[in-house]
Amino acid sequence: MPNAAVPLDTRSTTARGATASLRLVDPPPTTVEPTSLQSRTHGFFTPAKLEAVVAVAEEGGFSAAARRLCISQPALSQTIIAIERRLGVKLFERSTTGVQSTATGRALLGEARAILARFDQLLPAITQRAGEEGGVIRLGIPYDLASEVLCALAKFVVGYPDTRLQPRHLPMAEQLAALRSGQLDVSFMVQVPPGPDFDKILVAREELGVLLSPKLAARLAGPDGVRLDALAGLDWVTFPRSNSPAWYDELAAILRTHGIDAGPADRGDQFPAPSVTFTALSCGDTFALAPQLRADPIPDTVVWSPLADHAVVRRTWAAWPASSRHRAVARLISAFEQPSRRSTYPSAAVAASEPCCDQQ
């Protein structure tokens, strides 16, 4: 009874060759067709047979090669003999100390390694292609995301239910590194992404106002809002600088030109979450710069007021690797092709009643 094909251990990897997953070592054929070499080999060389040649050549013996392939030594010997008979050549010189590849065997060894390498790229290539058609889009998210961007993302998920968005918050330097390494597909950021290796599009433009306690707002706000220089002497409640260094530095420079102490660069590390920010604003002589329309609602203990004398604009960009061929990413970016037309904000009463997303 001929030796049956034995499945390889899907976890094993060849010592110097291709991964041994998904392949079987076939039993040797019992007949040889007396036809041309091309017709005799057509359909005969399965990946399992090529792997047998590679294993014997690299291990220098049938016993070690059989252990590597997780099959019996007689089954491996019969496989090699069958290959030599089909080709009409001798691939190995046998001796009591092992085997040596012949010149023909070495030629076949090179071709076999190349074919197996391509074979092992098949599944990853198909998996990557499937991911480009749909699947998951890994998003980098900043400390605070514009409400209109959230609305666009919500609409995208409704329009493409087979695509899942996987958000992840990272500091700016880590976002850029993750985009370059392929760990993120798209990132939203509040500073222009540097370098030619990223494509980018402006997705939101928001005019910032000031958040204060009701007591401070009653004292500082005029008919048109709060002047920046009126905030001198108050502590700035802000985001960690590592989240967006360029945007942090731009805000700090604006405040300093109006006589406001921006404080140390690590000031924002004290306010890692909105709940901490709102607590600080409710209880102290503090202020924060923020858009009127926010993803997280402003509590009753905090008041938003426009800036009366200086327009501070926060821009949000979407960035992705210039080399990306991810079709789902292309569809997502198309949702932001029209730049934001919101340059001013409605009154507080209108803002409270306005839905986040347009109803279809």
pLDDT of 358 above 50: no
pLDDT in tens, 233-286: 999 999 888 889 999 999 999 999 999 999 888 877 887 778 888 899 998 899
pLDDT of 15 above 80: no
**pLDDT band for position 34 (cuts 50, 70, 90):** very low
208 forms bridges with which residues in the sheet?
291, 312
- For residue 354, the model assigns a pLDDT of 38
pLDDT of 150 above 50: yes
pLDDT in tens, 298-350: 888 999 999 998 889 999 999 999 998 888 898 899 888 754 433 333 333 33
On whether the CB atoms of residues 75 and 51 are closer than 8 A, the answer is no
Which CATH number is 134-353 given? 3.40.190.290
Candidates 308, 295, 299, 151; CA nearest to 229 is 308
- For residue 170, the model assigns a pLDDT of 87
* Residue the block writes with tokens 């850029």: 176
Residue 175 DSSP SS3: helix
pLDDT of 220 above 90: yes
- For residue 42, the model assigns a pLDDT of 53
- For residue 247, the model assigns a pLDDT of 93
- For residue 14, the model assigns a pLDDT of 40
Measured distance CA(141)–CA(299) in Å, rounded: 23
- For residue 153, the model assigns a pLDDT of 92
- For residue 342, the model assigns a pLDDT of 38
Which amino acid, one-letter code, is at 207?
Answer: E
**Burial call 267-285: b when 16+ CB within 10 Å, e when fewer:** bbeebeebeebbbbbbeee
Q: Which residue has the higher pLDDT, 210 or 16?
A: 210
SS3 content of the chain, % helix, strand, coil (to 5): 40, 20, 40
- For residue 124, the model assigns a pLDDT of 63
Question: Architecture of 6-120 per CATH?
Answer: Orthogonal Bundle (1.10)
- For residue 302, the model assigns a pLDDT of 94
pTM flag (> 0.95): no
- For residue 242, the model assigns a pLDDT of 87
pLDDT of 219 above 80: yes
pLDDT in tens, 107-138: 999 999 998 888 777 766 665 555 555 578 99
* Residue 248 DSSP class: H
pLDDT-above-90 percentage for the chain: 44
**What average pLDDT does range 159-180 have in this prediction?**
90
DSSP-assigned letters across all residues of 326-358? -HHHHHHHHTT-SPP---S---HHHHHHS-SS-
pLDDT in tens, 51-101: 999 999 999 999 999 998 888 999 999 999 999 998 899 999 998 888 999
- For residue 128, the model assigns a pLDDT of 56
Domain definitions of the chain by residue range: 6-120, 134-353
pLDDT of 357 above 80: no
Measured distance CA(190)–CA(233) in Å, rounded: 27
Q: 9-18, 36-45, 179-188, 191-200: which range is least confident on average?
A: 9-18
